Amino acid sequence: MNTTTFKVYSAIDELPASWDQVAESNVFLQTSYLKVLEESAPTNMQCFYIGIFEENNLIGVALAQYLNVQKLESFGERDKCIKTTVRNFVFKNFASHVLFLGNNMITGQNGYVFNKEMDFKHISELLIQCSEAIIQYFKNKGIKIHIVSFKDFYQHCSDELKKYDFAEMYDFNIQPNMIFELNPEWKTESDYVAAFSKKYRDQYKRSHKKCEGVTVKELNYQEIIVNEERIYDLYHHVAKNAPFNTFFLAKNHFSTFKKQLGEQLRVAGYFIDEKLVGFHTILLNGETLETYFLGYDEHIQKERMLYLNMLYNMTKFGIENGFKKIIFGRTALEIKSSIGAKPVLMSGFIYHTNKFINHFMDKIFIRLEPSVEWQQRHPFK
């Protein structure tokens, strides 16, 4: 450990030349994606890129994100209640400066990667040292970080980290990551539909019939530019009606993403009489298909079962292009389980830099994080 060091960068052009070789296994840590964050991150977000070295050799890379919650237009408008009002007051006054070690914009273990075996004792030490360095950076600028969070970890990693420096932190499990492990015997959409029980095969047929008259088209870069304002409006409508938000994407996010990643990012537009009424995005990440942000016209969604059809279409793409699994992320758990995704527990760690407040983190957190009750569906025979 004596020869292991790290350096925190604030610009992509400062990164070591071997960065992408180390980050090869995860597109969300490669410079093509990091440039998307640099050019079109949410307005209340600042990103930091961490290089981890053994002597002078880069062996690991990590991402950190600072969020200024005071700049946020809304924490979420769906739930109008006293609890939401209290939550918003607390965030504005006691949790407005938040540091994430990891990527707060997506679900999954995408915070760091190494090109060699690292034991969890060293990983825990490094992550905490990196967070402390960034906290000091903001302290020097007169900004006090209120909350530090490390996200997301699959359960075996979380269990290991808790044996070391993370032991004193509050570990939390919020909504699970909905992951669809695709059956390798499925080669076509018909194979997938044939595996449904009658109830869910009927759901598939009904949703497709409802969506008749909606044209689905993959959008290239120029088409995204032409439709950028409408795409953002559709995204923003969905985002602001979520139960809880810590950021909103920049208006040029999708065109920037497409420009940087090309064919790795696919944007599908849903049209009625040439009017864009919805879109979904997917990211090709090795053998994993990552679902990204989407948007839709609420009235069309209800009438045409648009969201469910988007889930089926993303699944179809995954099957027909030979992906092993699809990461559907958090939210809409029940409907995602109805098309075959299963919940996978993800853990995070969090602490408040005020020791008195931190002592009550377990009680505070469960009151701030919206709880979701849902019923898991089992669609296959």
Q: Is the pLDDT of residue 82 over 90?
A: no
Rounded average pLDDT over 307-333:
97
**Reduced to 3 states, what is the DSSP secondary structure of residue 197?**
coil
Report the C-alpha gap between 114 and 323 in whole angstroms: 24
Report the C-alpha gap between 150 and 160 in whole angstroms: 14
Per-residue pLDDT band for 89 (boundaries 50, 70, 90) equals low
Give, for 257, the enclosing helix (H) or strand (E): helix 253-261
Distance of CA 331 to the CA centre of its chain: 11
User: Quick one: DSSP state of residue 196?
Assistant: B
341 contact partners, CB below 8 Å, separation of at least 6: 178, 179, 180, 326, 328
Checking DSSP bridges between strand 45-54 and strand 57-68, what pairing results, if any? antiparallel
- Is the separation of the CB atoms in 155 and 335 below 8 Å? no
Report the C-alpha gap between 37 and 115 in whole angstroms: 23
Report the C-alpha gap between 224 and 231 in whole angstroms: 8
Q: Is the pLDDT of residue 269 over 90?
A: yes
Distance of CA 229 to the CA centre of its chain: 22
Report the C-alpha gap between 32 and 257 in whole angstroms: 9
Report the C-alpha gap between 7 and 112 in whole angstroms: 14
Q: Tally helices (H) and strands (E) across the chain.
A: 15, 15
Q: Is the pLDDT of residue 211 over 60?
A: yes
pLDDT at 76: 45
- Is the separation of the CB atoms in 247 and 42 below 8 Å? yes
Rounded average pLDDT over 68-93:
58
pLDDT at 77: 45
Tokens 């980050």 -> residue: 23
The percent of residues above 90 in pLDDT, for the chain, comes to 83
Per-residue pLDDT band for 241 (boundaries 50, 70, 90) equals confident
Mean pLDDT taken over the chain: 92
Per-residue pLDDT band for 75 (boundaries 50, 70, 90) equals very low
Q: Is the pLDDT of residue 281 over 50?
A: yes
312 contact partners, CB below 8 Å, separation of at least 6: 204, 207, 208, 339
The percent of residues above 70 in pLDDT, for the chain, comes to 92
Report the C-alpha gap between 168 and 124 in whole angstroms: 12
pLDDT, tens digit, 9 for 90 and up, residues 94-146: 678 999 999 999 999 999 999 999 999 999 999 999 999 999 999 999 999 99
- Is the separation of the CB atoms in 256 and 39 below 8 Å? yes
pLDDT at 369: 66
Q: Is the pLDDT of residue 16 over 70?
A: yes
More confident: 78 or 31: 31
pLDDT at 326: 98
pLDDT, tens digit, 9 for 90 and up, residues 334-371: 999 999 999 999 999 999 999 999 998 888 787 766 67
148 contact partners, CB below 8 Å, separation of at least 6: 98, 99, 101, 131, 135, 350, 351, 353
Report the C-alpha gap between 25 and 65 in whole angstroms: 21
pLDDT at 85: 56
